[in-house]
Amino acid sequence: GAGVSQSPRYKVAKRGQDVALRCDPISGHVSLFWYQQALGQGPEFLTYFQNEAQLDKSGLPSDRFFAERPEGSVSTLKIQRTQQEDSAVYLCASSPIADSVNEQFFGPGTRLTVL
Amino acid sequence: AQRVTQPEKLLSVFKGAPVELKCNYSYSGSPELFWYVQYSRQRLQLLLRHISRESIKGFTADLNKGETSFHLKKPFAQEEDSAMYYCALRGRGGFKTIFGAGTRLFVKA
């Protein structure tokens, strides 16, 4: 079976551009997480969805960051007016049930470079 | 403040030697603790979680609430253990996961 997929794998944007990053979780997984991983750091939590409901967006760094999961499957992370400090790998993870001890299955990530 | 600290960025050991990757945490409440691993050119994946009290690939980790630590140990390191290791915590009943900065383990032949 296919794991979590993310697209694009690499994105180069000019400062000020808007970008959209896509995550396809494992089919049937209830929970979906987005993380931002800067170079040399661990993943940093951005937001969490349970089905289509965004239950925690406390990690979104500014109002330029927006995430959605309208039908409870595919999710999109949108960054408006990108800035150089947004350069990072963006990871998506999914989990089969809404449980704090459950394993998260990670995608390969999207590497965003803002020039 | 909720925080996970991995004090070593790089740990280098010889094959067959014991290895311990340190993890300390700060959390008010009962956390769930995890170790994730990322092998070269692979995705981040779960290695083990404290609640399962399991041994995976010879690795074990014991939660020490008094010292707020969750160190990862293996008695005899193998070359294939070379990877990036991340300690992580999540509040019981919560969803926000906090990761440490990671420790790169290099096992020399």
Residues in chain A closer than 8 A to B94 (CB atoms): 100
**What's the pLDDT at A100?**
64
Cα distance between residue B48 and residue A60, in whole Å: 28
CA distance A72 to A28: 9
Compute the distance between CA of residue A73 and CA of residue A71 in angstroms, rounded to an integer: 6
**Chains A, B: CB pairs < 8 Å:** 57
Chain A residues touching B46 at Cβ < 8 A: 103-104
Query: pLDDT over 70 for what percent of chain B?
Result: 100
Q: How many CB atoms lie within 10 A of CB A67?
A: 21
Backbone angles phi, psi at B8, to 5 degrees: -105, 125
What share of chain A in percent tops pLDDT 90? 92
B43 contact residues in A (CB cutoff 8 A): 3-4, 106-109
pLDDT tens for each residue of B66-89: 889 999 999 999 999 999 999 999
Tens digit of pLDDT for each residue in A14-67? Answer: 999 999 999 999 999 999 999 999 999 999 999 999 999 999 999 999 999 999
